[in-house]
Structure 1
Amino acid sequence: MGKENESSTTRFVCLHGHFYQPPRENPWLEAVGREPSAEPDHDWNQRITQECYRPNGAARLVDDKNRVLHIRNNYQDLSFNFGPTLLQWLAANEPWVVERLVEADRRTRDRWDGSGNALAQAYNHMILPLANRRDKETQIRWGIEDFRHRFGRPPEGMWLPETAVDAESLGIMAENGVKFTILAPHQAARWRFLDQEGPWYEVSDGSIPTGRAYRYACPNGKDLAIFFYDGTIARGIAFEGLLEHSSKLVGALREAFERSQVREGEPWLVHAATDGESYGHHFKFGDMALAAAFQALEADSAIQVIPYGAFLKRFPVRAEVDIAGDSAWSCAHGLGRWQRDCGCSTGAHPGWNQKWRGPLREALNWLRDEMALHFERSLAPLVWDPWAARNDYIRVVLDREGEALSFIRRHQRRDLNADERRLLLELLEMQRAAMFMFTSCGWFFDDVSGIETRIILSHACRALELMRWTGGRDLEADFVRRLGAAESNREEYATGAQVYERLVKPQAVSARQVAASIAMEAMALKEDCRPFILSYSYEPEQQLSVCELPVPCQAGLGTVTDRRTGRRERVLLALIHFGGLEFRCSTAALRSPGDWDRLLSALRRGAEEGTSGLVRAVDQILGEESLSLTDILEEPRLRVARHLARDSLSFYTQFQRRYFHANKSLLWSLRQWGIPLPADVQDSIRRVLEQEALEVLESFVTAAQDDSDAARSGDGTFQYRMMAARLQTLRRSLDDWGLRGKWGRVQRFLTQAMRWEMERAAGREPDRLERVLQLASFARVLQLEVKDWWLVTHWHALAASSVLPGWVRRHDPERKRVQELDRLLACRFLDPSNPFAAAADSHEKEIGKSS
């Protein structure tokens, strides 16, 4: 037990962040596509990670001049839950964030005798009171198993999506070992003390004392504890500016003790739950305000920050509660927000209605029930218990390559053949998609055409496809008809049926589209076909260049496999490149062994007739429907476009360079005589000088990647001095042309190079710090700022660990340069007057691990 646990205080604080995004992945690809509303970022997961999830893993404490004094992992003090589907995305795209979460929970457990500050969450944010019992069980069990997979322990607490609660859901949670959950104060109906036969207090107005835990007796005979958060604090954080400054938040927390209904000597917990995105996304610098607040509370001997589980262990529950059935924290009308036009909306579109919510839910409920019947009938001969298999399927979702075979062996009634195994997996994927149809965000916002509603409809589309493939009835027409009753507020869509047909179905990905994407990329980049692309693999059987004239044409035959289920499809294709970004790819499923030979013969005959004959031959064999570059998958499309644009852009850059050097004297004279240069000429000059600076830096970094002694250049070497001198000349030239500070690409490159060297230094190569210092000196020569989030984070890791202090001791003459870099980064990690400098927390040592 840590020293802080021995305190005799009765005042405790716990802030909880509910971090969540809907599963944004395209259900065919398991990848998030570009979301234009999130620009300049690729998608909303990426945007919010940069603004919130990542900053809270390394929150800044700054001085009055905004220089960074210290970095704090807010997740070590903040109680939190991350939606499992968001954690899956983070693990694949931002693993550093997941490392910080896991490390925070581990250190909290060490500090509080096994109680961590991470909570589980029902899997994909389904509104559980509106679900049937089977879905409730699966959502809760999947949430628990995902938590165990990420954090290496069973969860003590579980977050209910939107805190939507009913007695059955709480009972299932208790059956599965969950010890507590968190609700809003208005979700309590009445309470009383356990240590006396006293009266019940009616609190449906939200007046329940929130500083203690309450026992809830479930109808199934189990019980669990419920914490009802302080609504005043939560509202202040979410809507009333408590994150404008840490002093406001700390003041509100202290004030809460004074207004609380505390019995003499009773331990009291002031706690609040809000969207975790409040800390940086909803409120810029909210992560910094939170870090400063935790720092202030840490220094206050009268108050302790504690996780819910530790409070529950230390202080036995003294009261019991009844809940208000079918309620949630974000709807004043019970559960109306997810099933009817209750009046709750974002307020972004005055005059709009949400009458579409009811028909949408009715359509999805109908589809769920039809799929459940097909699921049971189809799996009854194959597995012992179809629904037990679904509950266990999360282990496959978390580790498809390692778990699929053992999962099948656990559940099969007999040895299944390949087709039966595929059927089993496809039916389970159908059920996964069917649950994702009910992700809460689909009803939360203002219109059925919104991005969140399109997400849940895309999962419905995938589920319908899987139902057809597994021998079920084709229900799509009937489903679309039911969506026709969900009227949109937008004239261009009219109903949910049009949203589905025009915005959702085009997202579906076929095996032929996958094959075309891989083939087009390979042809444009002159590479072999890639073996994998997201959820699919591709195995080429035949690949042949038919001709280069009149236009390049290739033919191919390959097998596309869905790696989740094992479904295979052999695809025949013909690809024509008309030049530039103009491609035409036609595909068809292979029907007979002779299809390949017939295609080759037709293409060769067509090529002899010219371009029109080639196109006609393709249409005759494969059909007139074709794919262009804009129709293939996003990743290969962008890769092809960048590759094909590279030569053109390089030609333009070389043209600018030749023009500048050939006319430099004339252009300089015009400038000296006061004759303004055209803007495009000025831009050409800037690009030329910037490109030359980039080439200097690239040559330096290339040398840094060579570990030979010849490539090592110390501060005083001729090579390094010549590079610095050249950069200084280029910077002065830029200034002389009146283009001071126009170094965007150079700044990005230099920053990235410094990041890379710091990451290596934080690993097993501390001597790379010399390269970091050299790159920093280049930044000073170019008069560039390098206030990069990752640089400061890595620099703090080096300063707080043994790496940087040890290196400075070995290279004492470099101490001044190190301190200059500290200042260049607007930090005070090495400033002796920094109160954190002398005693850096050991838990920060791992912060420098690369994402």
Structure 2
Amino acid sequence: MKSGFLVIHGHFYQPPRENPYIDFVEKEPSASPFHDWNHRITHECYAPNFWARLYGPGGGLKAVVNNYSFMSFDIGPTLFRWLRKNAPSVYQAIIQGDIESRKRFSGHGSAISHPYSHIILPLAHEEDKDLNVKWGIEEFKFHFKRNPEGMWLPECAVDTETLEVLAKQGISFVILSPFQAKRAKRFGEYWQEAEGGRIDPFRPYKVKLPSGREMSVFFFHHPLSMGVSFGDLLKDGEWLLSQIKLAMPQGGSPILSIVTDGETFGHHKTFGEMALAYMFSKLKDQKDIKLTVFGEFLEKHPPTDEVQIQEKSSWSCSHGLERWKDDCGCSCNLNPQWNQKWRKPLREALDWLRETLRVSLKSEATQVFFDFQKAKEDYIQVILDPEKKDQFLKEHLRAGPPQKALVLLEIERESLLMFTSCAWFFDDPSGIETILVLKHASRAIDLGRRFLGFDLEREFLERLREVKSNIPEKGDGEKLYLKEVLPHKVDLKRGAFHLIFRSFMGKDESNFGALRVKDKKEEEFRWGKATLELGQMEIEDERTSEKGKFSFSLLSFGDHNLVCGIGEINGKEKIKEVFHKGDLSGSALLIKETSEEVFTLSALLSEFQEEAVEFLSEETFQEIGEVLEGYYERLLPLMGFMKKTDSEPPYALLKLAECIFWIRTKKALEKLSPSLLREVLREAKELHLKFDLSNFRAKALTVLDECLEGLLRGEFTDFERLERLIELSDLLKLPLGKAQAYLFMFLKRQKEIQSEVLLRLAKKLSIEV
């Protein structure tokens, strides 16, 4: 009996969450205790899939599996870029998974490509469609060091023109929903209707294109894919495998494809990556099912059937592509009373902006580049490696300043990102996904205004007025733009203020997102608790080479009162003289009068405001904390007595107790003392006290992660510190899966385990040594 073949495909993707003005992901409170959703989903999904855990009969961890070496997958370039910068161990594990998969699947890798940005390709202008695919292929080659065989279509959105673009650039196959097939036939036979999902999904098909080229298509198994995505098929690997066996046809060489968002494995479905790893481990013993990837199957079983696709169709809108341009009825159904009439004017506003920019850019580019189209195609190499910027300019720049050339190309890049499909997918334009595309539009407009002399913002805002939110207080698109977008605009001076202030806090960073400090000189003066810093700073936006050289003066009163002047400062000596007399108000007034632009703490982005308040209030907080802790011994028996007598404590006393316990928790973490934290949490529970631990959990998670990454690299050997961190994290109810997996991988590398601490940790974390 011939084997059936199985492919599990994960589509891994996140929208570009960076603030485009500075190329920096701002804090997203909804992702707590993580900094942002990229960090959270990495912790829940992208990382666990390279150390998916398998347990032995006794319940101990016996192996870890890199799922990326077994499953077919694509990963959005904007997400992969973020992982490369922020989670290098995950990034490397994904690449290693593809390398290992080539050994397993006859030289065919598990990774397939993805367009540069997650746009609905059939709705894009032909030039944007072509560039998006080209950049996606080049991005793939940069990371995986090979040519891609297939490409994932965002939202599986397809039409013949899109397939032509892919085929022209060497892509051999795509993956679609069975509901996207129109007609099918065996070569040489008659067409059979296949609408409504009636296509046989157990074989590959060929689409014959008008150009004479061809494209292979795999249709995924809809019931099983839905069962994995939204049902219970990932409750355990044994159950998943049993359902695959039931669905697999007998005879021939059928291919069964299960396709889902990659985030299903761990993020949407907790421990889904473990069920997947368990199934992969069991497949080794199966003679009737063979794991494969699409490229390998295509080589060994080329299509014998032809298919016609449903033009302008997708996997997530039953109306074709209407979800990304109109109120078709498809939604997440957050509120049945809402409508999505806002989608059409949003699409129209961005289409207008894109076409207006296209005409302006082409006009400007003829004077700047030898060949603008070739420059656009090659610019992806600079995006991937900024060190190639000079060589790129040498090859493509005809005349004019290099900065102008880079600005033209950055506008092109923003014009692709501002069509990210998530902006239309959800139910209201006030969602974070729509705000993100408006930020990209805003930067494109800003670059055009400042460097090319055309200002499109007023007309763009007029068009956004038709984008009506379902939430009355959110208003329309113009209000969202003014309230949710512009406050995040960071020019060179505002960026310089962030860098100056972080340096003042002792965090002398040389960069802030895409802004790089080229030179910095400063001198510092003190008067009591007050500080005055005077200096010069030169910074550069690495993307456009825009530079700014500023004098600055920063005055801190020693508390939350702070003023920073940036720009041409004419009165530095006078400011010093007044400051040394102890006249802080006079010094602040002089800074305001002599600076081009003045900043206070309110100009910091929100997460840096929080950091600033914590830094500036530290001394005051310590003084208050010492006083409050003095009441602890008196307060504890009093609260205990009230609890025993069922007396309701006065509101002020309750809040005072919560504050004291918060302070003691902070001290326990600073001292890395599990015993103190255990005591504090026990007493708080006994007294029914509730206080916010989210900030502590976030900090503990960050510190533990740093230690674990160091452990895996062989750079961290303070095992007692690690033991205390794991105990503290456990008390704070943080997930310890990563600690378990990383310690397992570390121990497996050791010839002999002599450390008693490591043995205790292995026992605590149920690791089979």
Length-normalised TM-score, structure 2: 0.88
Q: Deviations over 1:210-265 (max 9, x none)?
A: 1111111222222121101111111212222222233332232112224xxx7xx5
Structure 1 residue 583 and structure 2 residue 562: aligned?
yes
Return the alpha-carbon distance in structure 2 between the equivalents of residues 455 and 782 of structure 1: 33
Return the alpha-carbon distance in structure 2 between the equivalents of residues 395 and 163 of structure 1: 27
Structure 1 residue 482 and structure 2 residue 460: aligned?
no
Q: In structure 1, which of residues 244, 249, 267 is the aligned counterpart of residue 240 of structure 2?
A: 249
Correspondence 1:598-613 to 2 at 5 A:
598=571, 600-601=573-574, 610-613=583-586
Does the Cα contact within 8 Å between 1:773 and 1:821 map onto a contact in 2?
no
> How far 1:181 sits from its partner (Å)?
0.8
Q: In structure 1, which of residues 19, 27, 33 is the aligned counterpart of residue 12 of structure 2?
A: 19
Q: Structure 2 vs 1, CA of residues 732 and 54 (structure 1 numbering), >3 Å: closer, same or farther? A: closer
Q: Which residue of 2 aligns with 1:393?
A: 379
Q: Structure 2 vs 1, CA of residues 161 and 38 (structure 1 numbering), >3 Å: closer, same or farther? A: same
Instruction: Please say which of residues 225-234 and 756-765 is displaced more in the overlay.
Output: 756-765
Identity level (%): 32
Does the Cα contact within 8 Å between 1:56 and 1:287 map onto a contact in 2?
yes
Amino acid at match of 2:31: A
Amino acid at match of 2:433: E
> How far 1:347 sits from its partner (Å)?
0.3
Q: In structure 2, which of residues 92, 116, 123 is the aligned counterpart of residue 99 of structure 1?
A: 92
Amino acid at match of 2:315: W
Number of residue pairs matched by the alignment: 757
Structure 1 residue 405 and structure 2 residue 390: aligned?
yes
Q: Which residue of 2 aligns with 1:796?
A: 744
Q: Which residue of 2 aligns with 1:314?
A: 300
Correspondence 1:353-372 to 2 at 5 A:
353-372=339-358
Return the alpha-carbon distance in structure 1 between the equivalents of residues 270 and 682 of structure 2: 38
Amino acid at match of 1:520: F
Q: Structure 2 vs 1, CA of residues 777 and 91 (structure 1 numbering), >3 Å: closer, same or farther? A: closer
Q: In structure 2, which of residues 167, 186, 192 is the aligned counterpart of residue 174 of structure 1?
A: 167
Q: Deviations over 1:690-734 (max 9, x none)?
A: 958965x69xxxxxxxxxxxxxxxxxxxxxxxxxxxx98x79988
Q: Helix, strand or coil for the counterpart of 2:557? A: strand
Return the alpha-carbon distance in structure 2 between the equivalents of residues 817 and 27 of structure 1: 46
Q: In structure 2, which of residues 303, 307, 324 is the aligned counterpart of residue 338 of structure 1?
A: 324
Q: Structure 2 vs 1, CA of residues 442 and 671 (structure 1 numbering), >3 Å: closer, same or farther? A: closer
> How far 1:420 sits from its partner (Å)?
1.5
> How far 1:133 sits from its partner (Å)?
1.1
Q: Helix, strand or coil for the counterpart of 1:393? A: helix
Return the alpha-carbon distance in structure 2 between the equivalents of residues 482 and 670 of structure 1: 60
Does the Cα contact within 8 Å between 1:514 and 1:632 map onto a contact in 2?
no
Does the Cα contact within 8 Å between 2:122 and 2:158 map onto a contact in 1?
yes
Does the Cα contact within 8 Å between 1:607 and 1:613 map onto a contact in 2?
no
Structure 1 residue 222 and structure 2 residue 213: aligned?
yes
Does the Cα contact within 8 Å between 1:787 and 1:826 map onto a contact in 2?
no
> How far 1:78 sits from its partner (Å)?
1.5
Return the alpha-carbon distance in structure 2 between the equivalents of residues 193 and 797 of structure 1: 50
Structure 1 residue 807 and structure 2 residue 731: aligned?
no
> How far 1:104 sits from its partner (Å)?
0.9
Does the Cα contact within 8 Å between 2:527 and 2:582 map onto a contact in 1?
no
Does the Cα contact within 8 Å between 2:467 and 2:477 map onto a contact in 1?
yes
Amino acid at match of 2:514: S
Q: Structure 2 vs 1, CA of residues 23 and 688 (structure 1 numbering), >3 Å: closer, same or farther? A: closer
> How far 1:787 sits from its partner (Å)?
7.0
> How far 1:574 sits from its partner (Å)?
3.8
Q: Structure 2 vs 1, CA of residues 506 and 165 (structure 1 numbering), >3 Å: closer, same or farther? A: same
Gapped regions of structure 2 (runs ≥ 5)? none
Return the alpha-carbon distance in structure 2 between the equivalents of residues 753 and 489 of structure 1: 41
Q: Helix, strand or coil for the counterpart of 2:53? A: strand
Q: In structure 2, which of residues 184, 193, 198 is the aligned counterpart of residue 202 of structure 1?
A: 193
Q: Which residue of 2 aligns with 1:622?
A: 595
Q: Deviations over 1:446-474 (max 9, x none)?
A: 11221111100000000001111232411
Q: Structure 2 vs 1, CA of residues 682 and 204 (structure 1 numbering), >3 Å: closer, same or farther? A: closer
Q: Structure 2 vs 1, CA of residues 540 and 107 (structure 1 numbering), >3 Å: closer, same or farther? A: closer
Q: Helix, strand or coil for the counterpart of 1:272? A: strand
Correspondence 1:627-776 to 2 at 5 A:
627-633=599-605, 637-652=609-624, 654-655=626-627, 691=667, 695=671, 768=717, 772=719
Return the alpha-carbon distance in structure 2 between the equivalents of residues 638 and 818 of structure 1: 37
Q: Which residue of 2 aligns with 1:503?
A: 484
Amino acid at match of 1:646: E
Does the Cα contact within 8 Å between 1:514 and 1:633 map onto a contact in 2?
no
Q: Helix, strand or coil for the counterpart of 1:341? A: coil
Q: Which residue of 2 aligns with 1:424?
A: 405
Return the alpha-carbon distance in structure 2 between the equivalents of residues 692 and 44 of structure 1: 28
Does the Cα contact within 8 Å between 1:656 and 1:688 map onto a contact in 2?
no
Q: In structure 2, which of residues 97, 101, 105 is the aligned counterpart of residue 108 of structure 1?
A: 101
Q: Deviations over 1:55-104 (max 9, x none)?
A: 12211223677543432222222111110000111111111211221111
Q: Deviations over 1:487-531 (max 9, x none)?
A: 221212322111111211111101111122222333344x7x644
Return the alpha-carbon distance in structure 2 between the equivalents of residues 155 and 639 of structure 1: 44
Q: Structure 2 vs 1, CA of residues 432 and 650 (structure 1 numbering), >3 Å: closer, same or farther? A: same
Amino acid at match of 2:246: E
Q: Deviations over 1:766-812 (max 9, x none)?
A: 9x5xx6489759989999799722321122213444x1xx214xx5x
Q: Helix, strand or coil for the counterpart of 1:465? A: helix
Q: Structure 2 vs 1, CA of residues 668 and 541 (structure 1 numbering), >3 Å: closer, same or farther? A: closer
Q: Helix, strand or coil for the counterpart of 1:388? A: helix
Q: Structure 2 vs 1, CA of residues 70 and 647 (structure 1 numbering), >3 Å: closer, same or farther? A: same
Amino acid at match of 2:570: D
Q: Which residue of 2 aligns with 1:458?
A: 439
Return the alpha-carbon distance in structure 1 between the equivalents of residues 536 and 217 of structure 2: 60
Q: Helix, strand or coil for the counterpart of 1:470? A: helix
Q: Which residue of 2 aligns with 1:721?
A: none
Does the Cα contact within 8 Å between 2:562 and 2:601 map onto a contact in 1?
yes
> How far 1:144 sits from its partner (Å)?
0.7
Amino acid at match of 1:376: K
Q: Which residue of 2 aligns with 1:350?
A: 336
Does the Cα contact within 8 Å between 2:700 and 2:729 map onto a contact in 1?
no
Does the Cα contact within 8 Å between 1:109 and 1:116 map onto a contact in 2?
yes
Q: Structure 2 vs 1, CA of residues 269 and 605 (structure 1 numbering), >3 Å: closer, same or farther? A: same
Q: Deviations over 1:139-175 (max 9, x none)?
A: 1011111111111111111000001011111111111
Q: Which residue of 2 aligns with 1:826?
A: 766
> How far 1:42 sits from its partner (Å)?
1.9
Q: Deviations over 1:184-229 (max 9, x none)?
A: 11111111112xx211111122111111111112222221211011
Return the alpha-carbon distance in structure 2 between the equivalents of residues 685 and 282 of structure 1: 35
Return the alpha-carbon distance in structure 1 between the equivalents of residues 744 and 131 of structure 2: 43
Q: Structure 2 vs 1, CA of residues 671 and 153 (structure 1 numbering), >3 Å: closer, same or farther? A: same
Return the alpha-carbon distance in structure 1 between the equivalents of residues 457 and 383 of structure 2: 26
Q: Structure 2 vs 1, CA of residues 580 and 473 (structure 1 numbering), >3 Å: closer, same or farther? A: same
Q: Structure 2 vs 1, CA of residues 362 and 757 (structure 1 numbering), >3 Å: closer, same or farther? A: closer
Return the alpha-carbon distance in structure 2 between the equivalents of residues 732 and 424 of structure 1: 60
Q: Helix, strand or coil for the counterpart of 1:521? A: helix
Q: Deviations over 1:39-60 (max 9, x none)?
A: 3322111221122111122112
Q: In structure 2, which of residues 495, 503, 508 is the aligned counterpart of residue 522 of structure 1?
A: 503
Between structure 1 and structure 2, the one with the greater Rg is 1
Length-normalised TM-score, structure 1: 0.80
Q: Which residue of 1 aligns with 2:429?
A: 448
Does the Cα contact within 8 Å between 1:486 and 1:495 map onto a contact in 2?
yes
Q: Structure 2 vs 1, CA of residues 782 and 293 (structure 1 numbering), >3 Å: closer, same or farther? A: closer
> How far 1:824 sits from its partner (Å)?
1.2
Amino acid at match of 1:246: G
Structure 1 residue 538 and structure 2 residue 517: aligned?
yes
Return the alpha-carbon distance in structure 2 between the equivalents of residues 500 and 738 of structure 1: 44
Q: Which residue of 2 aligns with 1:297?
A: 283
